[in-house]
Amino acid sequence: MERRVLLTGFDPFGGERINPALEAVRKLEGRILEDIGVRVVAQELPTVFGKSIEVLAQAIEREQPEVVICVGQAGGRTHITPERVAINVNDARIPDNEGQQPVDEPVVEGGPAAYFSTLPIKAIVQAMRDAGIPAMVSNTAGTFVCNHVFYGLMHLLHTRSAGVRGGFIHIPYLPEQVADRPEPSMALETIVRGIEIAIRVSATADADVRVTGGTEC
Amino acid sequence: MERRVLLTGFDPFGGERINPALEAVRKLEGRILEDIGVRVVAQELPTVFGKSIEVLAQAIEREQPEVVICVGQAGGRTHITPERVAINVNDARIPDNEGQQPVDEPVVEGGPAAYFSTLPIKAIVQAMRDAGIPAMVSNTAGTFVCNHVFYGLMHLLHTRSAGVRGGFIHIPYLPEQVADRPEPSMALETIVRGIEIAIRVSATADADVRVTGGTEC
Amino acid sequence: MERRVLLTGFDPFGGERINPALEAVRKLEGRILEDIGVRVVAQELPTVFGKSIEVLAQAIEREQPEVVICVGQAGGRTHITPERVAINVNDARIPDNEGQQPVDEPVVEGGPAAYFSTLPIKAIVQAMRDAGIPAMVSNTAGTFVCNHVFYGLMHLLHTRSAGVRGGFIHIPYLPEQVADRPEPSMALETIVRGIEIAIRVSATADADVRVTGGTEC
Amino acid sequence: MERRVLLTGFDPFGGERINPALEAVRKLEGRILEDIGVRVVAQELPTVFGKSIEVLAQAIEREQPEVVICVGQAGGRTHITPERVAINVNDARIPDNEGQQPVDEPVVEGGPAAYFSTLPIKAIVQAMRDAGIPAMVSNTAGTFVCNHVFYGLMHLLHTRSAGVRGGFIHIPYLPEQVADRPEPSMALETIVRGIEIAIRVSATADADVRVTGGTEC
């Protein structure tokens, strides 16, 4: 029996013409990991407060996945960074793709202050590193649409889909985005290999491993 | 009638011989801000999981402050950074000052995933900037003893001291800590001025201002 | 008639087990660029003051190249960085691979303070960027064996091989070198494509282009 | 007999309203270091290719100093950085204060590729560090007006004023310049103390110390 993993990526924002998350997710759309009986389903999300969560909810309803991994661009980061925690706040430094710029509003009115990822983030980081892929746990997903979708996802899973694992992974810029700017990047091929590892570990690990992914600040 | 503001700073950790937070807090110990009727009380905290919160709880019990501001060193940061959110996890990359190194354990068993600061962090940042002091909101206090105390503080205030404002502010290294290492720093005098501004704004602002302190990631 | 381009890469140093420069250069060894009549010859250099220049001089003598491009690892950089200038100083923060650690000694006793690269570095950067590869001019090659070989090369070409173009290109870490450290990297495939572009431009450009590659500091 | 040390600072450029170099230099104008018989003379330089060197030459002619230290802002640096080498190139990423933007032109037509500082830069760094002031040697002064003046100074001293020590020191932004931007800074008081140390060491050291100030790249 086929198990589904739902992967999402955002459309470009912040003046960029491409979004590495969308590029990576498209490469994995439809991929079948036969050895673990998994089929990857990809979904594009608009970089828009509100709508992004609606589209995500519909995709979850339609696909009934066992695992949901949302992927987003983290400009300036050097590593693939599975996120630990989503917080209940929208605080937009720049407008979203429909011009909304909420400040200090909750993602879900009355929701808890935060949700932790239910992906095995330490095991994912460990497996990526074993494969030579730069990875580390992140303790903040920011306060823009990435965190918004991450919080929305965890709230959905918590309230409606107990047992479905979910979380968010931030990825660096692609090389072509920063060819003439002093920012770090990662090749699409490396990112795609990393995301596939995240899928495999998320779909098969019984529990997370107990290794540190902490920081002093 | 005198109102008290409790300020805390940690003893040195991670191989450092001084902790800028403790140095700054000592400079402000006993200071009286006559115009707003505030007296500053300083308390040293051990950089130790558990004990740090116990000492903090005793100081709150003893001093009955209106505002509590915990201050900690954020090595590598360039700005004074009021923290937005404390998360319910201890994940130590390095041992604390008694050799403890918890991984993925809760600060408070059964506590909520996170607490938001109740300090007016946006107003604090704005006032520091108006005074020419580098400041920005931070969306992660890490997962070491700083976050631990921050979470412990907010849990204490939430469960026992409704109406007392509290939060955490991270500060950069002092110049003498990084004289021969490529890390940013801030003069003690600048830090002290910044913390005093945080005290004033926290003790007097009716509500926070609505300006962004967000990041995309 | 075949024209030769000599490419050099160093063996690993500073505790690393691989050197991205050597990996990249090996991938290009023997490559024939038919359209421009160029054959690539690769040479490994020891990361050793003195010996590195001797081995380079022998390779130039043996291969009689039209262009010489020395490649080295620049840990911490995000971009491929053609170097502008070599300076007449050895100042080693760490020992070389034979334990030598010269401080403030000249590369060539009595030599000029510096040599400028004779590669068309601006045109190289422009062509890399047009291909989506992160690139920028660097104004310092450091003071270790990379700068040493760069200076040695330019001195050799200046004194014995007028008309042969030469220079130095620094490249980032490979992803597997920094999988668990917070440092930027670049995929080997991207680096190899970049170096091939540098070879093509160096072998064919009449003169450099007049675009800025400057910095304020 | 009084010995003079000439100190220069630039007027603001690049959209800044102040220049920390000028602020620091003004604080030291007229200072008399009695114990070593030194009087500090300060001179403002325009951030303009050509004119800056003319004004500098006039000040040297007028003051007949024993030591000349030019100071400039290095936005983004965390430490005070005595420069090792000036290179014979103007390559402006941004226009100077009169709109000039030379690309790959020599500072001095026919001049040597570079000049080394004749200040005891290692001893200066060591003395600053001993005083708790963040300092390190820099191996590039960039390619804008700072490097231009540095090269111009060394060329002047080399051709006309044998025996006069000279060099360039870059300093970080002031805190108020970066209050709302994620850039490092240094307090004016710290910078002034650092520059005074540089004056003392430059005016009294017999020779530089032999300690590394090198980098791999």
Task: Give the residue numbers of D annotated as catalytic, written as ranges.
Answer: 83, 146, 170
Residue C6, pLDDT score: 98
Residue A1, pLDDT score: 62
- DSSP letter at A35 equals G
Question: For the residues C185-201, what does the mean pLDDT come to?
Answer: 98
**Per-residue pLDDT tens digits for B117-152:** 999 999 999 999 999 999 999 999 999 999 999 999
**Per-residue pLDDT tens digits for A168-195:** 999 999 999 999 999 999 999 999 999 9
Q: Do A212 and B142 touch (CB under 8 A)?
A: no
Give how far C34 is from chain D: nearest CA, Å: 33
pLDDT at C32 over 70: yes
Are A179 and C132 spatial neighbours (Cβ–Cβ below 8 Å)?
yes
- pTM above 0.95? yes
Distance CA C209, CA B2 (A): 71
Residue C1, pLDDT score: 62
Beta strand pairing call for B38-45 and B32-33: antiparallel
Residue C135, pLDDT score: 98
Confirm or reject contact between B135 and chain D (CB < 8 A). yes
Are D202 and D195 spatial neighbours (Cβ–Cβ below 8 Å)?
no
Chain D CB contacts of C157 below 8 Å: none
Q: Do D217 and C85 touch (CB under 8 A)?
A: no
Q: Which of C106, C111, C66, C30 is nearest to C204 (CA)?
A: C66
Cα distances from A199 to residues A11, A69, A135, A169, A212, in angstroms, run: 21, 8, 15, 11, 21
**Per-residue pLDDT tens digits for C93-122:** 999 999 999 999 999 999 999 999 999 999
> CB-based contacts of B141: which residues, under 8 Å, 6+ apart?
A217, B72, B83, B85, B86, B87, B147, B150, B168, B170
Residues (pLDDT < 70) of chain D are: 1
Are C36 and C45 spatial neighbours (Cβ–Cβ below 8 Å)?
no
Both tokens of C102, joined, read: 């010269």
Q: Please, which residues 12-31 of chain A have a Cβ atom closer than 8 Å to chain B?
A: 14
Confirm or reject contact between D180 and chain B (CB < 8 A). yes
**Per-residue pLDDT tens digits for D61-115:** 999 999 999 999 999 999 999 999 999 999 999 999 999 999 999 999 999 999 9
Q: CA B69, B70, B71, B76 torsion: positive or negative?
A: negative
Give me the interface pTM, i.e. the ipTM.
0.96
In chain D, the residue whose alpha carbon lies closest to the alpha carbon of C77 is: D217
Q: Which domains does chain A have, with CATH numbers?
A: 3-204 (3.40.630.20)
Q: Which of A22, A74, A75, A72 is nearest to A182 (CA)?
A: A75
In chain A, the residue whose alpha carbon lies closest to the alpha carbon of B171 is: A217
Give CA torsion, residues B135, B50, A123, A25, to 10 deg. Answer: -30
pLDDT band at C197 (very low <50, low <70, confident <90, very high): very high
Distance CA C79, CA C186 (A): 8
Q: Please, which residues 84-103 of chain A have a Cβ atom closer than 8 Å to chain C?
A: none
Give how far D131 is from chain B: nearest CA, Å: 8
Distance CA B137, CA B215 (A): 9
Both tokens of C145, joined, read: 């064996």
Question: For the residues A103-123, what does the mean pLDDT come to?
Answer: 98
**Per-residue pLDDT tens digits for C151-174:** 999 999 999 988 999 999 999 999
- If you write DSSP's letter for every residue of B68-135 in order, what string do you get? EEEEEE-TT-SSBEEB-EEES-B--SS--TTS----SB-SSTT--SEEE--S-HHHHHHHHHHTT--B
**Per-residue pLDDT tens digits for B67-117:** 999 999 999 999 999 999 999 999 999 999 999 999 999 999 999 999 999
Distance CA A142, CA B214 (A): 7
What residue type is assigned to position C123 of the chain? A
In chain D, the residue whose alpha carbon lies closest to the alpha carbon of B77 is: D184
Distance CA C43, CA C5 (A): 11
Both tokens of A185, joined, read: 């990047």
> CB-based contacts of A162: which residues, under 8 Å, 6+ apart?
none
Question: For the residues A53-81, what does the mean pLDDT come to?
Answer: 98
Chain C CB contacts of D113 below 8 Å: 85, 112-116
Percent of chain D with pLDDT over 90: 96
What residue type is assigned to position A215 of the chain? T
Both tokens of D177, joined, read: 């310049």
Mutate to test the interface with B, among D77, D78, D178, D189 (most CBs of B within 10 A): D78
Give how far B75 is from chain D: nearest CA, Å: 13
Question: For the residues A47-52, what does the mean pLDDT come to?
Answer: 98
Phi, psi at D188, each rounded to 5°: -55, -40
